[in-house]
Structure 1
Amino acid sequence: MARPIWSGILSFGLVSVPVSLYAATEDHTVHFRQIQRGTSDRVRNLRVNERTGKEVAFGDIVKGFETAEGEYVVVEPEELDQISPGRSKTIEISGFVDLDQVEPIFFDKTYYLGPKGKEYAKVYTLLQKALEQSNRAGIALFSMRGKEYLTAVRADRGILTAHTMHFADEVRDPHREIGNLPESGTTVSDRELTMAEQLIDMLAVDWNPDDYKDTFEEKVHELIAAKQAGQEFEAPSAAPRPSNVIDLMDVLSRSLESAGRPAGADADAGGGSEAGAEDEGAGKPRKRASAGRKKAPAEDLSELTKAELYRRASELDIPHRSTMTRDELQAALEQAAVPARHLRAAS
């Protein structure tokens, strides 16, 4: 059972519930010790008095704000807590906002909120369900560890979560920070845009966080194991090179083919339609979806990738395939195979 990193009162209106704050994420980064090259001697970072060179105990260190060179105003930790009395012990919701209105850039860290006792379960559940059904988040200010946080309290998977947020003046303007953003007049052709959209559709997946692993951490462990065993470590392939804008159409075409789109099935400049559009590569009209369309063979499609399913759907000219998810593509292919199986059973 994890230990809370903060405890206090969560309140909205006249309703309040004692809560505890828990870390929602953990860091799996591989940590290294600092050692001197050629030895096994550890190198330590010490808190040292700059003038005397002597180590200073942690309890003797206070915060100082430099007002002039070498001159400081000393601030004690308890004095910081006194600046916002109550906020260090209370998350007081001042209003509720629609979650869809909050831009992702404002969110920082996520914490879990839990009731401090079973006797507060009803009040906790009341707020959780109300936030879930309204798709809103409570906005509050509270202090923790000598710092004030703008916080959004929302419902997530049956519990309450607190998201610390950046204040508006902490979010940088990209147009001032980035010197080479595309100019407002930069254009792309309709054909390029259509092909890019088709590539995005073909690579669309359902969000499943378990599908994504920290491959860098895995490679670090493999590197350590290889060096420990006295073996050579095979480094991953080089990073991809930037696309040549002159050959952008060629790059898009090859991307579509590698993702499973049949060669010569590029869309026309207007985007085309799924049935009856001209195939610009072959100069022949694409076949219409009809009762006489080819039928997919009866087989298990569950092991095929989305790209493979899309390729078969293209061969069968299944309409609206570019907007389908992987499961929808499989269902459409299986449905197309049903008449063929019935015919074989009848014969």
Structure 2
Amino acid sequence: MPRAIWKGAITFGLVYVPVELFPATQSEGTGFNLLDRRTLDPVGYQQINKRTGKPIKRSDIVRGYEYEKGAYVVISDEEIKAASPESTQTVELLAFVDAPQVSFLYLDTPYWLAPDKRAGKTYALLRDALAASGKIGIASVVLHSRQHLAALVAAGPALALQTLRWSTEVREFDASQRLPRNAKAAGVSTHELQMASKLIDDMSTDWDPETYRDTYRDAIMGLAQRKAREGKAHELTHVEAPAPERRGAEIVDLSELLKRSLGKRKAADESAPREKRAPKRGKRAA
């Protein structure tokens, strides 16, 4: 478990649950570094004074709020906490809602909440009551000097805090793009709709995140390891990338596309080993 990044409490009516906040995700990108191609020395980033163009030390950097164009008020972390001490130390539950009512468009960053040594009983009470209700808590919390809307969720044995975007941060979809009113209005036949529904049903399974891999990262890591193994770690190899496959350009019949998709799916299922076939909904993944 990484180090706690925040300590405070969940406030639930008159109930007070001391907790610690931990990151619930980690980045697994390809991790490229910038290098000087002449010497392969790492190229770093500098903090630059935008007016003078000169680098400055991190210790000389302070936080400033621009109250009008070009005019700033300097504010310390301690002043921020003192200005609203309660809001910076609590996850304040505001309401409870049915989970499906919160669109995935509002989901931002997940965190784990762990109880401190004093809070085992109240933590368990809130977690189990929340799980039994089938609802999530809508809360307010200040993290990294910014107030967030958040969802408190019972996640197995733990409580998770999922920061949410504010309503002003979720853009309305521009209806002027003239979306089809429905499938029928777009010229889709009943038979085509039935085939599309059949394809969705055939591809439906239980959610198992371990089934999916970052194949792009795997390919880059494999390339890096192979070049190192072949003694070509410092060589820039110029190769002609294969042209992307053009799919569907020769097929204008939607029914034909759906038939091919269903046939391809059926053939893949029949050729796959029994234990590796995608489970249907309601069946447990092997």
- Give the TM-score band, short-chain normalised: 0.7 to 0.9
Supply the AA of the counterpart residue of 2:253.
D
Q: Residues 85-100 of structure 1: matches in 2 within 5 Å?
A: 85-100=85-100
Deviations 1:119-170 (A, max 9, x none): 3211110100000000111111111221111111110112111110011111
Q: Residues 186-205 of structure 1: matches in 2 within 5 Å?
A: 186-205=186-205
How far apart are the structure 1 equivalents of 2:207 and 2:105?
A: 20
User: How many residues matched?
Assistant: 270
How far apart are the structure 2 equivalents of 1:157 and 1:6?
A: 22
Note closer, same or farther for the CA distance 1:82–1:327 as it changes in structure 2 (3 Å cut): closer
CA shift for structure 1 position 53: 3.5
CA RMSD in angstroms, aligned pairs only: 2.9
- Corresponding position of 1:146: 145
How far apart are the structure 2 equivalents of 1:5 and 1:181?
A: 46
CA shift for structure 1 position 17: 1.2
CA shift for structure 1 position 30: 2.1
CA shift for structure 1 position 224: 0.9
Supply the AA of the counterpart residue of 1:259.
R
1:159 and 2:158 are equivalent in the alignment: yes
- Corresponding position of 1:257: 263
Supply the AA of the counterpart residue of 1:257.
G
Note closer, same or farther for the CA distance 1:95–1:241 as it changes in structure 2 (3 Å cut): same
CA shift for structure 1 position 13: 0.7
Whether the 8 Å contact between 1:18 and 1:116 is mirrored in structure 2 is: yes
Note closer, same or farther for the CA distance 1:304–1:108 as it changes in structure 2 (3 Å cut): closer
How far apart are the structure 1 equivalents of 2:196 and 2:276?
A: 23
SS at match of 1:182: coil
- Corresponding position of 1:183: 180
- TM-score normalised by L of structure 2: 0.83
Deviations 1:50-101 (A, max 9, x none): 3333321212212334466644343333333344321111111122111121
SS at match of 1:260: helix
How far apart are the structure 2 equivalents of 1:19 and 1:85?
A: 16
- Corresponding position of 1:76: 76
Note closer, same or farther for the CA distance 1:41–1:18 as it changes in structure 2 (3 Å cut): same
% identical aligned pairs: 35
How far apart are the structure 1 equivalents of 2:52 and 2:165?
A: 39
CA shift for structure 1 position 237: 8.1
SS at match of 2:149: strand
How far apart are the structure 1 equivalents of 2:66 and 2:88?
A: 25
Whether the 8 Å contact between 1:92 and 1:140 is mirrored in structure 2 is: yes
- TM-score normalised by L of structure 1: 0.70
Q: Residues 92-111 of structure 1: matches in 2 within 5 Å?
A: 92-111=92-111
Structure 2 residues not aligned, in runs of 5+: 268-272
- Corresponding position of 2:18: 18
- Corresponding position of 1:246: 252
Larger CA Rg, structure 1 vs 2:
1
- Corresponding position of 1:3: 3
Structure 1 residues not aligned, in runs of 5+: 262-300, 308-323, 329-347
How far apart are the structure 2 equivalents of 1:121 and 1:306?
A: 40
Whether the 8 Å contact between 1:306 and 1:326 is mirrored in structure 2 is: no
Note closer, same or farther for the CA distance 1:326–1:132 as it changes in structure 2 (3 Å cut): closer
